[in-house]
Amino acid sequence: MPTYTVETNGDIALTAATAKTVLNVINSGRTLKVTELSVSFDGVTANAEPVTVELCASTQATAGTPGATPTPAQVSGAARSAVATAGRAYSAEPTVLTVLKRWLIHPAGGALLMQYPLGREPLRDSSGHGLALRCTAPAAVNCQGYIEIAENE
């Protein structure tokens, strides 16, 4: 089964106390599973409050407004183009978002790397639904990250 990655392609600015969908991968006909995700921050203040990082399911009731629509890049498996589509750095949030997992990560050198065990990956099997990585920082900070996905036949 091929795997693909969608990444931030550099810094994404987070505005204080404002939720921002950093990455969103949208199912286009194949079951979509998150195998790995990561996010890190460039804050420098040791006593800063943590950033809330959420993995969300999205119905894509409204698509939101992505800053870019990158093509998922294949990282393993037999050569095949991804069917899933993606967006990054949303200026208007997609809906309806349901939080599946939530973490608090320190913005000064904090990083999250999550690898999901086989058979326990968050997934979307309805065409048009997505899996999104959303961050809410108490103070302005930049983030970088990626979502790695697998597509079933």
Per-residue pLDDT reduced to its tens digit, 15-72? 999 999 999 999 988 889 999 999 999 999 999 999 999 999 999 999 999 999 999 9
Nearest to residue 90, comparing CAs of 136, 43, 49? 136
Which tens digits make up the pLDDT trace of 127-146?
A: 899 999 999 999 999 999 99
Q: What sign has the CA pseudo-torsion 95, 101, 32, 85?
A: positive
Domains and CATH numbers, the chain: 3-151 (2.60.120.380)
Listed residue (26, 38, 18, 37) closest to 111, CA to CA: 38
Q: What is the distance, to the nearest Å, from the Cα of residue 150 to the centroid of all Cα atoms in its chain? A: 14
Tell if the pTM clears 0.85, that is, is over it: yes
